[in-house]
Amino acid sequence: MTTRSETQTTLDHLLTEIEHRNPAQPEFHQAAHEVLETLAPVVAARPEYAEPGLIERLVEPERQVIFRVPWQDDQGRVRVNRGFRVEFNSALGPYKGGLRFHPSVNLGVIKFLGFEQIFKNALTGLGIGGGKGGSDFDPHGRSDAEVMRFCQSFMTELYRHIGEHTDVPAGDIGVGGREIGYLFGQYRRITNRWEAGVLTGKGRGWGGSLIRPEATGYGNVLFAAAMMRERGEDLEGQTAVVSGSGNVAIYTIEKLTALGANAVTCSDSSGYVVDEKGIDLDLLKQIKEVERGRVDAYAERRGASARFVPGGSVWDVPADLALPSATQNELDENAAATLIRNGVKAVSEGANMPTTPEAVHLLQQAGVAFGPGKAANAGGVAVSALEMAQNHARTSWTATRVEEELADIMTSIHTTCHETAERYDAPGDYVTGANIAGFERVADAMLAQGVI
Ligand code: NDP
Ligand code: 2IT
């Protein structure tokens, strides 16, 4: 019987090898560390997982596609971006995961997101593998026509790699309903197929699921509520700080408000807004979803209760709950120390890997309930899988039905993470619980399907 520490030594060697074989991919290294540093208890306890090659296969994408995306701007100038699709693991189902359009996108970022997605999708209990894609294209300040031409060019290459039984992209940063519409249109035109299940996050009138836009934010709040229940509390009357002001942040604020919490902040890359009366969602949606403006416009139009802090960290605002919903590594050790000093009770990740490893450690040491993204923000991809199911059956469910399914899935993910952590001597540690539970499901499928 191999001990936990011997197993950890083997995993540490593998991590060193991952760093050597994948140079200049710090985000992917960070995601691999986060998972592999928690697997020793399960690998030591179940010898089949120590089988040579299992974890080595898990950290190597099944396929990685990188392609040129040329498009013309409104002045007729040719621009060239880079497109990516990393098809990481299909042991549980077709590759599934979003597309991110942001200037910071590179192969390492897409690999970190795709790797996280494997475990997240496994935790949903649904039949979806893990993948991710995107481009270093920056949609900010681009006209609708430019975004359309970009999406059409992007899909002109991507279409040959995806399909309802192969790989099913959706949105992520910079990719919302508008972009999914242009991408779907071009896919349909090239293939001459009405293949609704090839993309999720579609419009409600043409194959989209009700509640998909809301699902990530709503799901994260339900996960936070479940963590608070473990501490004997609910969300009523709690003050919450939320970062970001995009899809995830907006519907996080909506659900927090519905459950009686007071969400007092939002942000974008220009700074943050604090509003003592609670964020006015109609105003925020108007500025962000309709006008595609910046958050300072919110403070200008809201009146005395709100102010805009340029630059600044949203985590400086005292709160009971923190829900990072913008991007990776946005909540560092200093921010965690400030949150702890201000009495934070729970941190639940709407974004993917928003909390640095040092900050996670600090929060857990201080007894703060910490919900990792691969569990807490799984509601989005879960409802994407429900959208695929509806598309396959050529039907559409009511909002109530989808919301009930989402609530059941989030409760079940919370219970799975909680129980798994207890089973492996890490009570209350949702990071360990999520990683081990996700790993077990994928690893069992990989072992059953042989060396491929
Ligand atoms: P959006 O594009 O709708 O919104 C992103 C928000 O985050 C914007 O307010 C944006 O501000 C801000 N932001 C992005 N990058 C940065 C940065 N480098 N620095 C500061 N602010 C930044 O994206 P989503 O809301 O869809 O995604 C947010 C997070 O949630 C991401 O981590 C994503 O991976 C994750 N996620 C999304 C899911 C989904 O269903 N959409 C599902 C699960 C997780 P600005 O406009 O100024 O850039
Ligand atoms: O990070 C994520 O889970 C997403 N961006 C959603 C993926 C999806 O396929 O709905």
Q: 370 and 222 share a domain?
A: yes
Q: 261 and 169 share a domain?
A: no
Asked if the structure places residue 336 within a domain, the reply is yes
Asked if the structure places residue 387 within a domain, the reply is no
Q: 178 and 229 share a domain?
A: no
- Residue 309's region, left for phi above 0, alpha for psi from -120 to 50, else beta, is beta
Asked if the structure places residue 258 within a domain, the reply is yes
Q: 40 and 137 share a domain?
A: no
Asked if the structure places residue 351 within a domain, the reply is yes
Asked if the structure places residue 425 within a domain, the reply is no
Asked if the structure places residue 160 within a domain, the reply is yes
Q: Which tens digit of pLDDT belongs to each residue from 418-437?
A: 999 999 999 999 999 999 99
Ligand 1 residue neighbourhood (C-beta within 6 Å): 102, 104, 171-174, 176, 216, 244-249, 268-269, 325-327, 350-352, 377, 380
Please identify every stretch of the chain with a pLDDT value under 70, giving residue numbers as ranges: 1
CATH of the domain at 111: 3.40.50.10860
Q: Which of 376, 408, 426 is the last residue of a domain?
A: 376
Dist. CA 131–CA 135, nearest whole Å? 14
Ligand 2 atom at minimal distance to the Cα of residue 128: 9
Q: Which tens digit of pLDDT belongs to each residue from 163-212?
A: 999 999 999 999 999 999 999 999 999 999 999 999 999 999 999 999 99
Q: Which residues are catalytic?
A: 132
Asked if the structure places residue 17 within a domain, the reply is yes
pLDDT of amino acid 1:
63
CATH of the domain at 252: 3.40.50.720
Nearest CA to ligand 2 atom 4: 98
Q: 225 and 357 share a domain?
A: yes
Q: 140 and 50 share a domain?
A: no
Q: Are 359 and 324 in contact (CB under 8 A)?
A: no
Q: 182 and 262 share a domain?
A: no
Mutate to test the pocket of ligand 1, among 104, 247, 273, 287 (most ligand atoms within 8 A of CB): 247
Q: Which domain holds residue 49?
A: 4-59
Question: How many folded domains does the chain comprise?
Answer: 3
Q: 235 and 364 share a domain?
A: yes
Dist. CA 4–CA 372, nearest whole Å? 23
Q: Which of 13, 28, 59 is the last residue of a domain?
A: 59
pTM of the predicted model as reported, rounded to 2 decimal places:
0.98
**What's the 341 CA to ligand 2 centre distance in angstroms?**
33
pLDDT of amino acid 2:
81
| Residue type (1 letter), 421 | A
What sign does the dihedral 95-97-98-100 (CA atoms) show?
negative
**What's the 14 CA to ligand 1 centre distance in angstroms?**
31
Asked if the structure places residue 74 within a domain, the reply is yes
Nearest CA to ligand 1 atom 39: 172
Q: 179 and 311 share a domain?
A: no
Give every CB contact of residue 433 below 8 A, 6+ residues apart in sequence.
Answer: 375, 416, 417, 418, 419, 420, 421, 422, 424, 426
Q: 103 and 36 share a domain?
A: no
Mutate to test the pocket of ligand 2, among 88, 183, 216 (most ligand atoms within 8 A of CB): 216
Q: 155 and 297 share a domain?
A: no
Q: 271 and 300 share a domain?
A: yes
